[in-house]
Structure 1
Protein backbone atom coordinates (compact mmCIF):
# COMPACT_ATOMS: atom_id res chain seq x y z
CA UNK A 1 0.00 0.00 0.00
CA UNK A 2 1.41 3.45 -0.85
CA UNK A 3 2.09 6.05 1.78
CA UNK A 4 -1.08 7.71 3.02
CA UNK A 5 0.45 10.15 5.49
CA UNK A 6 3.79 11.90 6.00
CA UNK A 7 4.99 13.59 9.18
CA UNK A 8 7.69 16.13 8.39
CA UNK A 9 9.79 17.18 11.39
CA UNK A 10 12.36 19.94 11.56
CA UNK A 11 15.26 19.22 13.93
CA UNK A 12 15.31 20.87 17.34
CA UNK A 13 17.15 24.11 17.91
CA UNK A 14 20.86 23.71 17.10
CA UNK A 15 23.90 25.58 18.32
CA UNK A 16 24.14 26.83 14.74
CA UNK A 17 20.66 28.35 14.97
CA UNK A 18 21.67 30.13 18.18
CA UNK A 19 24.97 31.36 16.73
CA UNK A 20 23.35 32.62 13.52
CA UNK A 21 20.65 34.55 15.37
CA UNK A 22 23.23 36.05 17.75
CA UNK A 23 25.44 37.13 14.83
CA UNK A 24 22.53 38.78 13.03
CA UNK A 25 21.47 40.67 16.16
CA UNK A 26 25.04 41.80 16.81
CA UNK A 27 25.49 43.05 13.26
CA UNK A 28 28.44 40.70 12.70
CA UNK A 29 29.54 39.58 9.25
CA UNK A 30 30.45 36.01 10.20
CA UNK A 31 28.61 33.40 12.25
CA UNK A 32 30.89 32.10 15.02
CA UNK A 33 30.78 28.37 14.46
CA UNK A 34 33.84 26.11 14.37
CA UNK A 35 32.33 22.88 13.01
CA UNK A 36 31.10 21.98 9.56
CA UNK A 37 27.36 22.19 8.95
CA UNK A 38 26.92 18.41 8.95
CA UNK A 39 28.34 18.19 12.49
CA UNK A 40 26.38 20.98 14.20
CA UNK A 41 24.66 19.51 17.31
CA UNK A 42 21.50 20.44 19.13
CA UNK A 43 21.53 23.16 21.74
CA UNK A 44 20.27 22.42 25.26
CA UNK A 45 16.92 23.86 24.22
CA UNK A 46 16.96 21.65 21.14
CA UNK A 47 17.47 18.58 23.30
CA UNK A 48 14.44 19.56 25.40
CA UNK A 49 12.41 20.11 22.23
CA UNK A 50 13.35 16.71 20.83
CA UNK A 51 12.32 15.00 24.05
CA UNK A 52 8.99 16.84 23.98
CA UNK A 53 8.53 15.70 20.39
CA UNK A 54 8.60 12.11 21.64
CA UNK A 55 5.14 12.51 23.17
CA UNK A 56 3.73 13.76 19.87
CA UNK A 57 5.12 10.81 17.94
CA UNK A 58 3.93 8.21 20.46
CA UNK A 59 0.44 9.70 20.31
CA UNK A 60 0.29 9.78 16.51
CA UNK A 61 -2.74 7.99 15.08
CA UNK A 62 -1.84 6.12 13.04
CA UNK A 63 1.78 5.92 14.13
CA UNK A 64 4.62 6.04 11.56
CA UNK A 65 6.11 2.71 10.55
CA UNK A 66 9.16 3.96 8.65
CA UNK A 67 11.47 6.95 9.08
CA UNK A 68 13.89 8.78 6.84
CA UNK A 69 16.43 11.02 8.57
CA UNK A 70 18.94 13.58 7.34
CA UNK A 71 22.50 12.39 8.09
CA UNK A 72 23.33 15.72 9.73
CA UNK A 73 24.00 15.45 13.47
CA UNK A 74 21.22 17.80 14.59
CA UNK A 75 18.61 15.74 12.73
CA UNK A 76 20.02 12.43 13.91
CA UNK A 77 20.01 13.64 17.52
CA UNK A 78 16.44 14.88 17.21
CA UNK A 79 15.29 11.54 15.81
CA UNK A 80 17.12 9.50 18.45
CA UNK A 81 15.71 11.52 21.36
CA UNK A 82 12.20 11.68 19.91
CA UNK A 83 11.96 7.92 19.29
CA UNK A 84 13.93 6.55 22.26
CA UNK A 85 10.71 5.24 23.84
CA UNK A 86 8.83 4.49 20.63
CA UNK A 87 7.04 4.35 18.33
CA UNK A 88 8.37 1.05 17.00
CA UNK A 89 9.56 1.51 13.42
CA UNK A 90 9.97 -1.22 10.84
CA UNK A 91 12.71 0.69 9.00
CA UNK A 92 14.95 3.71 9.59
CA UNK A 93 16.95 5.15 6.70
CA UNK A 94 19.62 7.84 6.87
CA UNK A 95 19.24 9.58 3.51
CA UNK A 96 21.72 12.21 2.29
CA UNK A 97 19.08 13.65 -0.03
CA UNK A 98 17.43 15.09 3.10
CA UNK A 99 20.50 17.11 4.10
CA UNK A 100 20.20 20.87 4.55
CA UNK A 101 20.65 23.23 1.63
CA UNK A 102 24.31 23.92 0.88
CA UNK A 103 25.26 27.61 0.73
CA UNK A 104 28.74 27.44 -0.83
CA UNK A 105 30.64 30.71 -0.50
CA UNK A 106 27.83 32.21 1.59
CA UNK A 107 28.17 29.60 4.33
CA UNK A 108 28.55 31.15 7.82
CA UNK A 109 27.90 34.68 6.55
CA UNK A 110 25.15 36.92 7.89
CA UNK A 111 23.19 39.32 5.70
CA UNK A 112 25.74 42.00 6.55
CA UNK A 113 28.55 39.60 5.67
CA UNK A 114 27.07 38.72 2.28
CA UNK A 115 26.55 42.39 1.44
CA UNK A 116 30.10 43.29 2.47
CA UNK A 117 31.98 40.35 0.97
CA UNK A 118 29.85 39.23 -1.98
CA UNK A 119 27.79 42.19 -3.22
CA UNK A 120 27.69 40.57 -6.66
CA UNK A 121 25.71 37.69 -5.16
CA UNK A 122 23.23 40.16 -3.71
CA UNK A 123 22.65 41.45 -7.23
CA UNK A 124 22.38 37.95 -8.71
CA UNK A 125 19.92 36.97 -5.97
CA UNK A 126 17.79 40.04 -6.68
CA UNK A 127 17.76 39.19 -10.40
CA UNK A 128 17.20 35.42 -10.18
CA UNK A 129 15.00 35.27 -7.09
CA UNK A 130 15.18 32.98 -4.06
CA UNK A 131 14.09 29.82 -5.86
CA UNK A 132 16.69 29.82 -8.63
CA UNK A 133 19.63 31.67 -7.10
CA UNK A 134 22.55 29.25 -6.66
CA UNK A 135 25.54 30.69 -4.75
CA UNK A 136 28.90 29.48 -6.07
CA UNK A 137 29.62 26.08 -4.56
CA UNK A 138 26.11 25.85 -3.16
CA UNK A 139 22.54 24.98 -4.10
CA UNK A 140 19.41 26.82 -5.10
CA UNK A 141 15.99 25.79 -3.82
CA UNK A 142 15.44 24.30 -7.27
CA UNK A 143 18.54 22.12 -6.80
CA UNK A 144 17.26 20.87 -3.45
CA UNK A 145 13.88 20.15 -5.04
CA UNK A 146 15.55 17.92 -7.61
CA UNK A 147 17.10 15.66 -4.99
CA UNK A 148 13.85 15.63 -3.03
CA UNK A 149 11.93 14.50 -6.14
CA UNK A 150 14.29 11.53 -6.25
CA UNK A 151 13.68 10.86 -2.56
CA UNK A 152 9.89 10.98 -2.99
CA UNK A 153 9.99 8.49 -5.85
CA UNK A 154 11.79 6.00 -3.61
CA UNK A 155 9.62 6.76 -0.58
CA UNK A 156 6.48 6.09 -2.63
CA UNK A 157 7.56 2.46 -3.04
CA UNK A 158 7.91 1.87 0.71
CA UNK A 159 5.39 -0.67 2.06
CA UNK A 160 4.07 1.56 4.85
CA UNK A 161 0.99 3.68 5.48
CA UNK A 162 2.66 6.45 7.50
CA UNK A 163 6.19 7.79 7.14
CA UNK A 164 8.30 10.12 9.25
CA UNK A 165 10.91 12.53 7.88
CA UNK A 166 13.33 14.33 10.22
CA UNK A 167 15.29 16.99 8.40
CA UNK A 168 15.66 20.77 7.97
CA UNK A 169 13.42 23.77 7.41
CA UNK A 170 14.14 24.12 3.68
CA UNK A 171 13.60 20.39 3.18
CA UNK A 172 10.25 20.50 4.98
CA UNK A 173 9.12 23.55 3.02
CA UNK A 174 10.14 22.07 -0.33
CA UNK A 175 8.61 18.65 0.35
CA UNK A 176 5.32 20.39 1.08
CA UNK A 177 5.61 22.34 -2.18
CA UNK A 178 6.42 19.24 -4.21
CA UNK A 179 3.62 17.13 -2.80
CA UNK A 180 1.06 19.93 -3.19
CA UNK A 181 2.36 20.69 -6.71
CA UNK A 182 3.03 24.36 -5.97
CA UNK A 183 4.80 26.44 -8.59
CA UNK A 184 7.52 28.97 -7.74
CA UNK A 185 5.06 31.79 -7.04
CA UNK A 186 2.85 29.71 -4.74
CA UNK A 187 5.84 28.38 -2.80
CA UNK A 188 7.44 31.79 -2.27
CA UNK A 189 4.14 33.34 -1.25
CA UNK A 190 3.57 30.62 1.36
CA UNK A 191 7.18 30.75 2.58
CA UNK A 192 6.94 34.52 3.04
CA UNK A 193 4.12 34.02 5.55
CA UNK A 194 5.15 30.80 7.27
CA UNK A 195 8.20 29.53 9.14
CA UNK A 196 9.13 25.93 9.90
CA UNK A 197 9.71 26.08 13.66
CA UNK A 198 12.28 23.95 15.48
CA UNK A 199 10.96 20.47 16.39
CA UNK A 200 7.66 21.23 14.65
CA UNK A 201 5.52 18.61 12.91
CA UNK A 202 4.01 19.22 9.48
CA UNK A 203 1.43 16.64 8.40
CA UNK A 204 0.42 15.77 4.85
CA UNK A 205 -2.30 13.24 4.00
CA UNK A 206 -3.20 11.63 0.74
CA UNK A 207 -6.69 12.27 -0.62
CA UNK A 208 -7.18 10.02 -3.59
CA UNK A 209 -4.34 10.72 -5.98
CA UNK A 210 -3.51 14.09 -4.39
CA UNK A 211 -1.88 15.24 -1.15
CA UNK A 212 -3.41 17.72 1.29
CA UNK A 213 -1.74 19.81 4.00
CA UNK A 214 -3.38 18.78 7.28
CA UNK A 215 -1.14 20.76 9.64
CA UNK A 216 1.87 23.01 9.18
CA UNK A 217 4.67 23.61 11.70
CA UNK A 218 2.64 22.35 14.67
CA UNK A 219 4.36 22.91 18.04
CA UNK A 220 1.49 22.19 20.42
CA UNK A 221 3.50 19.26 21.81
CA UNK A 222 6.27 21.67 22.84
CA UNK A 223 3.83 23.96 24.58
CA UNK A 224 2.14 21.03 26.34
CA UNK A 225 5.46 19.61 27.55
CA UNK A 226 6.81 23.00 28.66
CA UNK A 227 9.56 23.12 26.04
CA UNK A 228 10.57 26.47 24.58
CA UNK A 229 9.23 27.33 21.13
CA UNK A 230 12.03 28.84 19.07
CA UNK A 231 11.77 30.81 15.86
CA UNK A 232 15.02 30.40 13.94
CA UNK A 233 14.52 30.87 10.20
CA UNK A 234 17.01 28.93 8.11
CA UNK A 235 20.16 30.57 6.82
CA UNK A 236 19.53 34.23 6.01
CA UNK A 237 21.01 33.52 2.57
CA UNK A 238 20.93 36.93 0.91
CA UNK A 239 17.41 37.99 1.81
CA UNK A 240 16.88 41.75 1.81
CA UNK A 241 16.68 43.51 5.14
Structure 2
Protein backbone atom coordinates (compact mmCIF):
# COMPACT_ATOMS: atom_id res chain seq x y z
CA UNK A 1 0.00 0.00 0.00
CA UNK A 2 1.51 3.30 -1.12
CA UNK A 3 -1.40 5.73 -0.78
CA UNK A 4 -2.79 8.19 -3.35
CA UNK A 5 -0.83 8.59 -6.57
CA UNK A 6 -1.94 12.21 -6.89
CA UNK A 7 -3.54 14.80 -4.64
CA UNK A 8 -5.05 18.08 -5.82
CA UNK A 9 -6.00 20.29 -2.86
CA UNK A 10 -8.11 23.36 -3.53
CA UNK A 11 -9.37 26.20 -1.41
CA UNK A 12 -13.01 27.16 -1.82
CA UNK A 13 -13.96 30.17 -3.94
CA UNK A 14 -14.40 33.59 -2.39
CA UNK A 15 -16.97 33.37 0.41
CA UNK A 16 -19.35 35.97 1.80
CA UNK A 17 -17.20 36.14 4.93
CA UNK A 18 -14.01 36.57 2.90
CA UNK A 19 -15.56 39.59 1.23
CA UNK A 20 -16.77 41.09 4.52
CA UNK A 21 -13.33 40.67 6.13
CA UNK A 22 -11.62 42.22 3.10
CA UNK A 23 -13.94 45.21 3.09
CA UNK A 24 -13.48 45.82 6.82
CA UNK A 25 -9.75 46.54 6.27
CA UNK A 26 -8.47 47.72 9.67
CA UNK A 27 -11.86 48.54 11.18
CA UNK A 28 -13.11 46.34 14.08
CA UNK A 29 -15.81 43.97 12.84
CA UNK A 30 -18.07 41.34 14.34
CA UNK A 31 -19.59 38.92 11.80
CA UNK A 32 -22.02 36.52 13.40
CA UNK A 33 -22.93 34.19 10.57
CA UNK A 34 -21.78 30.65 11.42
CA UNK A 35 -18.57 29.55 9.73
CA UNK A 36 -20.14 26.31 8.51
CA UNK A 37 -23.04 28.00 6.64
CA UNK A 38 -21.23 30.85 4.89
CA UNK A 39 -21.47 30.32 1.13
CA UNK A 40 -19.94 31.82 -2.02
CA UNK A 41 -20.14 35.28 -3.52
CA UNK A 42 -20.76 35.77 -7.24
CA UNK A 43 -17.00 35.98 -7.67
CA UNK A 44 -16.57 32.79 -5.63
CA UNK A 45 -19.01 30.95 -7.89
CA UNK A 46 -17.13 32.16 -10.96
CA UNK A 47 -13.87 30.98 -9.40
CA UNK A 48 -15.39 27.56 -8.69
CA UNK A 49 -16.50 27.33 -12.32
CA UNK A 50 -12.96 28.21 -13.47
CA UNK A 51 -11.67 25.42 -11.23
CA UNK A 52 -14.05 23.04 -12.97
CA UNK A 53 -12.72 24.15 -16.35
CA UNK A 54 -9.20 23.43 -15.09
CA UNK A 55 -10.21 19.92 -14.10
CA UNK A 56 -11.87 19.38 -17.48
CA UNK A 57 -8.62 20.33 -19.24
CA UNK A 58 -6.50 17.78 -17.37
CA UNK A 59 -5.26 14.65 -19.17
CA UNK A 60 -7.32 11.58 -18.32
CA UNK A 61 -4.53 10.09 -16.21
CA UNK A 62 -4.42 13.22 -14.01
CA UNK A 63 -8.12 13.81 -13.34
CA UNK A 64 -9.43 13.11 -9.84
CA UNK A 65 -11.18 9.80 -9.22
CA UNK A 66 -12.44 10.46 -5.68
CA UNK A 67 -13.20 13.59 -3.65
CA UNK A 68 -12.74 14.43 0.03
CA UNK A 69 -14.49 17.61 1.10
CA UNK A 70 -14.83 19.87 4.12
CA UNK A 71 -18.32 19.81 5.65
CA UNK A 72 -18.60 23.60 5.38
CA UNK A 73 -21.08 24.92 2.83
CA UNK A 74 -18.62 27.08 0.90
CA UNK A 75 -16.44 24.05 0.19
CA UNK A 76 -19.39 21.84 -0.78
CA UNK A 77 -20.72 24.58 -3.07
CA UNK A 78 -17.30 25.00 -4.68
CA UNK A 79 -17.18 21.31 -5.53
CA UNK A 80 -20.77 21.23 -6.83
CA UNK A 81 -20.13 24.17 -9.19
CA UNK A 82 -16.74 22.82 -10.29
CA UNK A 83 -18.26 19.42 -11.11
CA UNK A 84 -21.09 21.01 -13.09
CA UNK A 85 -18.61 23.02 -15.16
CA UNK A 86 -16.28 20.04 -15.56
CA UNK A 87 -19.17 17.97 -16.92
CA UNK A 88 -17.84 14.68 -15.56
CA UNK A 89 -19.94 11.96 -14.02
CA UNK A 90 -20.40 12.45 -10.26
CA UNK A 91 -17.42 11.16 -8.27
CA UNK A 92 -17.49 9.41 -4.90
CA UNK A 93 -17.43 12.17 -2.27
CA UNK A 94 -16.42 11.77 1.36
CA UNK A 95 -17.25 14.67 3.68
CA UNK A 96 -14.64 14.67 6.44
CA UNK A 97 -14.81 16.86 9.56
CA UNK A 98 -11.02 16.92 9.72
CA UNK A 99 -10.98 19.11 6.61
CA UNK A 100 -12.94 21.92 8.30
CA UNK A 101 -11.36 25.34 8.60
CA UNK A 102 -9.23 26.24 11.59
CA UNK A 103 -11.54 26.79 14.55
CA UNK A 104 -11.24 30.21 16.18
CA UNK A 105 -13.42 29.40 19.19
CA UNK A 106 -14.82 32.37 21.09
CA UNK A 107 -13.08 34.78 18.72
CA UNK A 108 -14.64 33.38 15.54
CA UNK A 109 -16.97 36.35 14.88
CA UNK A 110 -14.20 38.96 15.16
CA UNK A 111 -11.60 40.23 12.73
CA UNK A 112 -8.05 40.96 13.84
CA UNK A 113 -8.77 44.64 14.51
CA UNK A 114 -11.74 43.74 16.73
CA UNK A 115 -9.65 41.22 18.68
CA UNK A 116 -7.07 43.91 19.39
CA UNK A 117 -9.79 46.39 20.38
CA UNK A 118 -12.01 44.14 22.52
CA UNK A 119 -9.71 41.29 23.65
CA UNK A 120 -6.33 42.88 24.34
CA UNK A 121 -5.20 39.91 26.44
CA UNK A 122 -5.71 37.57 23.46
CA UNK A 123 -3.93 40.02 21.18
CA UNK A 124 -1.02 40.06 23.64
CA UNK A 125 -0.89 36.25 23.65
CA UNK A 126 -0.94 36.27 19.85
CA UNK A 127 2.02 38.66 19.79
CA UNK A 128 3.94 36.62 22.37
CA UNK A 129 3.27 33.14 20.99
CA UNK A 130 3.18 33.88 17.27
CA UNK A 131 0.39 33.14 14.80
CA UNK A 132 1.18 29.43 14.44
CA UNK A 133 1.47 28.50 18.11
CA UNK A 134 -1.36 30.76 19.33
CA UNK A 135 -4.54 28.91 20.28
CA UNK A 136 -7.53 31.24 20.69
CA UNK A 137 -9.87 30.52 23.59
CA UNK A 138 -11.94 27.48 22.64
CA UNK A 139 -10.22 27.24 19.26
CA UNK A 140 -7.24 25.65 17.55
CA UNK A 141 -3.62 26.45 16.92
CA UNK A 142 -2.10 25.58 13.57
CA UNK A 143 -0.42 22.72 15.40
CA UNK A 144 -3.85 21.36 16.28
CA UNK A 145 -4.81 21.52 12.60
CA UNK A 146 -1.63 19.58 11.77
CA UNK A 147 -2.61 16.83 14.21
CA UNK A 148 -5.99 16.24 12.57
CA UNK A 149 -4.51 16.41 9.07
CA UNK A 150 -1.91 13.79 9.94
CA UNK A 151 -4.74 11.49 11.03
CA UNK A 152 -6.64 12.32 7.83
CA UNK A 153 -3.66 11.53 5.61
CA UNK A 154 -3.08 8.28 7.46
CA UNK A 155 -6.62 7.19 6.65
CA UNK A 156 -6.35 8.51 3.08
CA UNK A 157 -3.26 6.38 2.52
CA UNK A 158 -5.39 3.29 3.04
CA UNK A 159 -8.74 4.38 1.62
CA UNK A 160 -7.38 6.04 -1.53
CA UNK A 161 -4.48 3.69 -2.25
CA UNK A 162 -3.52 4.02 -5.90
CA UNK A 163 -6.18 6.67 -6.57
CA UNK A 164 -6.14 10.29 -7.70
CA UNK A 165 -7.70 12.46 -4.99
CA UNK A 166 -9.28 15.91 -4.99
CA UNK A 167 -9.49 17.69 -1.62
CA UNK A 168 -11.80 20.70 -1.34
CA UNK A 169 -11.20 22.66 1.85
CA UNK A 170 -9.82 25.90 3.30
CA UNK A 171 -6.73 28.09 3.38
CA UNK A 172 -5.49 26.72 6.72
CA UNK A 173 -6.02 23.15 5.55
CA UNK A 174 -4.12 23.57 2.29
CA UNK A 175 -1.31 25.46 4.02
CA UNK A 176 -0.86 22.91 6.80
CA UNK A 177 -1.34 20.00 4.41
CA UNK A 178 1.93 21.01 2.76
CA UNK A 179 3.62 21.09 6.15
CA UNK A 180 2.31 17.62 7.04
CA UNK A 181 3.11 16.02 3.67
CA UNK A 182 6.66 17.33 3.86
CA UNK A 183 7.02 15.83 7.34
CA UNK A 184 8.23 19.05 8.91
CA UNK A 185 8.28 19.08 12.74
CA UNK A 186 5.60 21.25 14.31
CA UNK A 187 8.32 23.24 16.03
CA UNK A 188 9.04 24.62 12.54
CA UNK A 189 5.41 25.45 11.74
CA UNK A 190 6.14 29.14 11.35
CA UNK A 191 8.13 28.33 8.20
CA UNK A 192 4.88 27.62 6.34
CA UNK A 193 4.24 31.37 6.36
CA UNK A 194 6.44 31.54 3.27
CA UNK A 195 3.65 29.81 1.34
CA UNK A 196 0.80 32.01 2.60
CA UNK A 197 -1.71 33.33 1.79
CA UNK A 198 -3.58 30.49 0.10
CA UNK A 199 -5.73 32.08 -2.59
CA UNK A 200 -9.41 31.40 -3.16
CA UNK A 201 -9.97 28.57 -5.68
CA UNK A 202 -6.22 27.93 -5.95
CA UNK A 203 -5.03 24.41 -6.74
CA UNK A 204 -2.04 22.65 -5.17
CA UNK A 205 -0.89 19.35 -6.66
CA UNK A 206 1.25 16.51 -5.33
CA UNK A 207 2.29 13.39 -7.24
CA UNK A 208 3.65 10.18 -5.75
CA UNK A 209 7.25 9.33 -6.62
CA UNK A 210 8.63 6.11 -5.13
CA UNK A 211 5.85 6.12 -2.56
CA UNK A 212 6.44 9.71 -1.46
CA UNK A 213 4.29 12.70 -2.37
CA UNK A 214 6.19 15.49 -4.10
CA UNK A 215 4.71 18.92 -4.78
CA UNK A 216 4.27 19.76 -8.46
CA UNK A 217 2.58 23.15 -8.06
CA UNK A 218 1.32 25.06 -5.07
CA UNK A 219 -1.31 27.77 -4.63
CA UNK A 220 -1.71 27.98 -8.41
CA UNK A 221 -4.34 30.41 -9.70
CA UNK A 222 -3.43 30.41 -13.40
CA UNK A 223 -6.91 29.05 -14.24
CA UNK A 224 -8.49 32.18 -12.75
CA UNK A 225 -6.87 34.54 -15.22
- Same fold flag (TM > 0.5): yes
**Cα separation, 1, equivalents of 2:54 and 2:189:** 27
Mapped pair 1:30 → 2:29: yes
Count of aligned positions:
220
**Cα separation, 2, equivalents of 1:174 and 1:189:** 11
SS state at 1:130 partner: coil
**Cα separation, 1, equivalents of 2:145 and 2:188:** 17
Relative distance call for 1:42 and 1:90 in structure 2 (3 A) is closer
Relative distance call for 1:69 and 1:45 in structure 2 (3 A) is same
The residue number in structure 2 matching 1:114 is: 115
User: What is the CA deviation profile of residues 63-93 of structure 1, one whole-angstrom value per residue up to 9, with x for unaligned ones?
Assistant: 1101001010100000000012444455211
Asked if the contact 2:36/2:72 (under 8 Å) is kept, the reply is yes
Mapped pair 1:83 → 2:93: no
**Cα separation, 2, equivalents of 1:34 and 1:115:** 18
Asked if the contact 1:6/1:204 (under 8 Å) is kept, the reply is yes
Mapped pair 1:213 → 2:211: no
1:194, CA displacement in angstroms? Answer: 3.2
**Cα separation, 2, equivalents of 1:88 and 1:207:** 28
TM-score normalised to structure 2 length:
0.91
**Cα separation, 2, equivalents of 1:45 and 1:90:** 25
TM-score normalised to structure 1 length:
0.85
**Cα separation, 2, equivalents of 1:173 and 1:22:** 23
The residue number in structure 2 matching 1:200 is: 202
Bigger shift: residues 171-180 or 186-195: 186-195
User: Where does structure 2 lack aligned partners over 5 or more consecutive residues?
Assistant: none
1:187, CA displacement in angstroms? Answer: 4.1
**Cα separation, 2, equivalents of 1:89 and 1:213:** 27
Asked if the contact 1:57/1:87 (under 8 Å) is kept, the reply is no
The residue number in structure 2 matching 1:234 is: none
1:148, CA displacement in angstroms? Answer: 1.0
SS state at 2:36 partner: helix
Asked if the contact 2:50/2:224 (under 8 Å) is kept, the reply is yes
User: Where does structure 1 lack aligned partners over 5 or more consecutive residues?
Assistant: 224-241
The residue number in structure 2 matching 1:8 is: 9
1:154, CA displacement in angstroms? Answer: 1.1
Asked if the contact 2:206/2:217 (under 8 Å) is kept, the reply is yes
User: What is the CA deviation profile of residues 37-84 of structure 1, one whole-angstrom value per residue up to 9, with x for unaligned ones?
Assistant: 100010000000101111111222311101001010100000000012
Mapped pair 1:100 → 2:86: no
The residue number in structure 1 matching 2:191 is: 189
